[in-house]
Structure 1
Amino acid sequence: MTDRIRAIEGLALAAALTAVFDGVHSFGDHLLNAAKAVSTVPRVARVEVAR
C-alpha cells in the first residue's frame, strides 16, 4: 500500500511541477517578446529618421 501512495504522490508532484513550469515559461516568453519588441522599435525609428 505504501508503494501505491508513493507512486500517486510522485505523479501529483510531476503534474504540479509541469503546471508551474507551463505558467512560468509562458510568462518568460511574454517578457522576452516584449523586450525584443521594445529593443527593435528605436532602431527602426532611427533608420527611418536618417532617410
Structure 2
Amino acid sequence: MKQNKSGLGFYERMGGKEYLRRKSEFGEVVVDDVAYGWEDVSVLCLEEK
C-alpha cells in the first residue's frame, strides 16, 4: 500500500521499479496500492559459493 513507506522502501532497495498504481476496496475502506516489478528477477536470488 502507498501508505506503507517502509515496505515501499524495501522493494526500492531491492531494485524494484514502480509499474502500477491502483485503488483497492476492503469493505468500505479504499486504499491506494503500488506494485513493483523487476526486469530481471535473478537479482533477487542468493548465489551460493
Which TM-score applies when normalising by structure 1? 0.24
Q: Could you say which structure has the higher helix fraction?
A: 1
Q: Which has the higher contact order (CA 8 A, sep 6+)?
A: 2
Which TM-score applies when normalising by structure 2? 0.25
Q: Could you say which structure has the higher strand fraction?
A: 2
Structure of larger gyration radius: 1
